[in-house]
Amino acid sequence: MLELIFYSLIGGVFSLVGGFLLLWKQSFTKKIMTPLLSFAAGAFLAAAFLDILPEAIELVAEPHLILVTTLLGIVTFFVLERMLMTFFYKHKDITEAHSDHTESLPLLLILGDSFHNFLDGIVIALSFVANPSLGLITTLAVAAHEIPQEIGDFGVLLNQGWSKKKVILVNIVQSLFTLPGALLGYYTGNSLEHLLPYSLAAAAGIFIYLACSDVIPEIHHRSGHKQFYKVVLPLVASIIIIGYLVNLTH
C-alpha cells in the first residue's frame, strides 16, 4: 500500500516540474505569455485526442458511447461555465468584453485537471494491482504526459493574474487528487474498470472545451491580426511533444 501511495504522489507531483520552471523565470514567462497560451491549447487538445480518448476507446468494444460521453463532457462544462457567468460573476465590474468570459476559466481548469488527476490515480492503482512493476511504468508514463499540460496550466493561471504562491498551492493540491483516485482504485479493484473508459471520455471532453472555448479565444484576443508564428508554432510544438511522449510511453 505504501508503494502505491508513493507511486500516486510521483504521478501527480512530479508533473509540476515544468510549471515550477516557468515560475522560476517569471519575468521571461510574462514576455512569452501569448505563445505560452498557444502551448497550453495544444497541450489540452493533444492530451484529449492523442492520449485520453484513444485510451478510453481501447478499453471498450463499441466506441460510440465513448464519443457520446465526450460530447456530454463538453456540454456539461458549457452549462457549468454559463452558470458561473450568470449567477456568480454577474455583479463584478467588467472592464473588457472578453473578461466576462475568461474569469471563470481558472475554476473550470482546476476542476477539469483535478478530475483528470483523480482518474490517473485510478489507472495507476489498477496497473499496480495487476503487477507492481506495471504500476511503476504507468506512473512514469502519467507523469511524462502531464508535464507539458502542467506547463499550460501554469501559463493560463499566470495569464489570469494569479500570484506565484497561489499558482503553486492550487497546482499542488490538484496534483494530489491522484492519491484518492489510487486508493479508490486499489480498494474497489476491477469493479471500477467498466466505468473508467467513460470517465476518461468525459475528461477528454472537458479539455477540448477548455481549449476551444476559453484558451483559443483568449489567444485571438491577445494577438489580434498579428503574431502568426508566435501563436501557431507553440500550439503545434505542444501537440508534437505530447504525441511523442504518448508514443514513447505506450
Cell of 84: 458561473
∠ CA 221-202-43, rounded to 5°: 45
25 domain residue, yes or no: no
27 domain residue, yes or no: no
Q: Among candidates 220, 158, 223, which has minimal Cα distance to 28?
A: 158
Range of the domain at 57: 2-19+36-249
Q: Could you give the number of structural domains in the chain? A: 1
26 domain residue, yes or no: no
Could you list the beta-strand ranges (E) of 26-114.
Answer: none
Q: Alpha-carbon distance 38 to 45, whole Å?
A: 11
Could you tell me if 167 and 158 are in contact, meaning their C-beta atoms sit under 8 angstroms apart? yes
208 domain residue, yes or no: yes
> How far apart, in Å, are the Cα atoms of 19 and each of 29, 57, 168, 224?
11, 30, 9, 26
85 domain residue, yes or no: yes
Q: What is the chain's pLDDT, residue by residue, as a tens digit (250 residues)? A: 778 888 787 777 777 776 777 777 767 777 788 888 899 899 899 989 998 899 899 989 889 999 999 999 999 999 988 888 777 765 555 444 445 556 778 888 899 889 988 988 888 888 887 778 777 777 877 777 777 778 888 888 888 888 888 888 888 888 889 899 889 988 886 677 788 899 999 999 999 999 999 889 989 988 888 889 999 999 999 999 989 888 887 6
Place of cell 497550453: 40
Q: Among candidates 213, 41, 184, which has minimal Cα distance to 117?
A: 184
217 domain residue, yes or no: yes
Which positions ≥6 away from 188 have C-beta within 8 Å? none
In this structure, how many other beta carbons lie within 10 angstroms of the beta carbon of residue 229?
8
Which positions ≥6 away from 116 have C-beta within 8 Å? 52, 203, 206, 207
pLDDT value for 97: 43
29 domain residue, yes or no: no
Distance of CA 122 to the CA centre of its chain: 16
24 domain residue, yes or no: no
Could you tell me if 208 and 70 are in contact, meaning their C-beta atoms sit under 8 angstroms apart? yes
∠ CA 30-16-169, rounded to 5°: 80
